[in-house]
Structure 1
Amino acid sequence: MQTLSELGYARTSLREIAQNSEFSHGVLHYYFTDKVDLITYCVRQYKARCVLRYDQTVATARTAEALAQGFADGLVATLRDEAFMHRLWYDLRSQALFEESFRADVLAIDESLERMIWRIVSRFGELGGTPLTVTSPVAYAMVDGLFQQALLRYLSGSENALPDLREHVVHLLSGLTQPASSQA
């Protein structure tokens, strides 16, 4: 995973991964048919953990504001601590536009991430007593867009990338619900 996240899809081979791990090239070939198989396996495992990361925040938040802050703080922490893994995900997602062999896995991962975001957004609306103004795909696209922009800025050395992500996510969540005064 470290080699993949550092070099990306195009610059990584099974041989390169083997050289940077405790496994031989033969062992990797035994378990994985090719680089695509290994990469999709690794990213699926990583993203499966990511999807569960916010469940505790959703379960324990007592107010919409606490949920928004907890979610924003979680996004900032994962971007800061695992930026290279997220970079690998965006690389894989982009490669799926060209490599058909990635598409089914990327679509499945994308759907799980969308469901994760929808759990958060739906709970935010419930806690605030306000109806949502967007659909699940739109909410996911907005959060994902903010996260991807912040990732690029963070990897480029921007000191504001993390605090801006936190602020933008909290603001975005507030904008995804209809204010109480306009519910009539």
Structure 2
Amino acid sequence: MTKPAERISRRQVDKFEQRRKQLADAALQTLSELGYARTSLREIAQNSEFSHGVLHYYFRDKVELITYCVRQYKAHCVLRYDGIVADAEDPDALARDFADGLVDTLVGEALLHRLWYDLRSQSLFEESFRADVADIDESLERMIWRIVSRYAELSGNAPTCSSAMAYATFDGLFQQALLRHLAGSAIALDDLRAGARHLLSHVVCA
């Protein structure tokens, strides 16, 4: 049986984590608009309902807040694509839904994806980011591999590349589409949709 003191402690931990999530949600918009270098905890506080002191209480510094925000957002992305895998009944439908999902998230959440690439680039220079970025990258790689593996299974074939290569290929396609979309390209989205379906059909052996 759980002791009363343990129940209270667990409740306090849950409330603390819930508050961190609320603060992260409030911070994401400012972070995604300004990027890592131009954003401070004070800047985030000025653009939200929370004070600078409150942010500092729940997060040690900007690094912890940013990595928490991106980790939370990317975890949401992974769940979205896992739903596509779970619902897939044939390879063509999976390829279509996957490609459409990439386009939808690029259009609707372009600034949040830009923040992720900004953070990943910063990890080349700031060691404090590297462990979190590597962990997020690994979760995204596993997500892509579940897509590829399910497509191969539905096609009755096998993957032609490693998990790392599949992730690098699709991530590169998505990042280039994001750059072109933010630059105003009228065909970036169509190219992303077509490119994703093309790549998926070529990462399994016929």
Q: For the superposition of Structure 1 and Structure 2, which TM-score range results when normalised by the shorter chain? A: over 0.9
Return the alpha-carbon distance in structure 2 between the equivalents of residues 177 and 39 of structure 1. 36
- Tell me which structure has the larger Cα radius of gyration: 2
Alpha-carbon distance, 1:35 to partner: 0.5
* Partner residue in 2 for 1:182: none
Q: Which amino acid aligns with 2:128?
A: S
Query: Which residue of the other structure, out of 56, 64, 83, is the alignment partner of 1:56?
Result: 83
1:163 aligns with 2:195: no
Return the alpha-carbon distance in structure 2 between the equivalents of residues 31 and 54 of structure 1. 30
1:53 is paired with a residue of what secondary structure? helix
Return the alpha-carbon distance in structure 2 between the equivalents of residues 41 and 57 of structure 1. 25
Alpha-carbon distance, 1:30 to partner: 0.6
CA offsets per residue over residues 136-162 of structure 1, 9 Å max, x none?
Answer: 000000000000000000000111111
1:38 aligns with 2:38: no
Return the alpha-carbon distance in structure 2 between the equivalents of residues 66 and 167 of structure 1. 14
Return the alpha-carbon distance in structure 1 between the equivalents of residues 168 and 176 of structure 2. 12
Alpha-carbon distance, 1:102 to partner: 0.3
Q: Which runs of 5+ in 1 are unaligned?
A: 180-184
Return the alpha-carbon distance in structure 2 between the equivalents of residues 26 and 95 of structure 1. 26
Q: TM-score, normalised by structure 1?
A: 0.96
Alpha-carbon distance, 1:59 to partner: 1.1
Query: Which residue of the other structure, out of 148, 151, 172, is the alignment partner of 2:175?
Result: 148
Return the alpha-carbon distance in structure 2 between the equivalents of residues 122 and 61 of structure 1. 12
2:158 is paired with a residue of what secondary structure? coil
* Partner residue in 2 for 1:95: 122
Alpha-carbon distance, 1:170 to partner: 0.0
* Partner residue in 1 for 2:149: 122
Query: Which residue of the other structure, out of 67, 87, 109, is the alignment partner of 2:94?
Result: 67
Query: Which residue of the other structure, out of 48, 51, 54, is the alignment partner of 1:24?
Result: 51
* Partner residue in 2 for 1:85: 112
1:104 aligns with 2:131: yes
Return the alpha-carbon distance in structure 2 between the equivalents of residues 42 and 67 of structure 1. 29
Return the alpha-carbon distance in structure 2 between the equivalents of residues 142 and 22 of structure 1. 40
* Partner residue in 2 for 1:175: 202
Return the alpha-carbon distance in structure 1 between the equivalents of residues 158 and 37 of structure 2. 44
Q: Which amino acid aligns with 2:107?
A: R
Return the alpha-carbon distance in structure 2 between the equivalents of residues 46 and 178 of structure 1. 33
1:5 aligns with 2:32: yes
Return the alpha-carbon distance in structure 1 between the equivalents of residues 135 and 49 of structure 2. 29
Alpha-carbon distance, 1:56 to partner: 1.6
Return the alpha-carbon distance in structure 1 between the equivalents of residues 130 and 59 of structure 2. 18
Return the alpha-carbon distance in structure 2 between the equivalents of residues 173 and 61 of structure 1. 14
Aligned length: 179
Identity, in percent, stands at 74
* Partner residue in 1 for 2:159: 132
Q: CA RMSD in A?
A: 0.5
Q: Which amino acid aligns with 1:5?
A: S
Q: TM-score, normalised by structure 2?
A: 0.86
Higher mean Cα deviation, 48-57 or 149-158? 48-57
Alpha-carbon distance, 1:131 to partner: 1.1
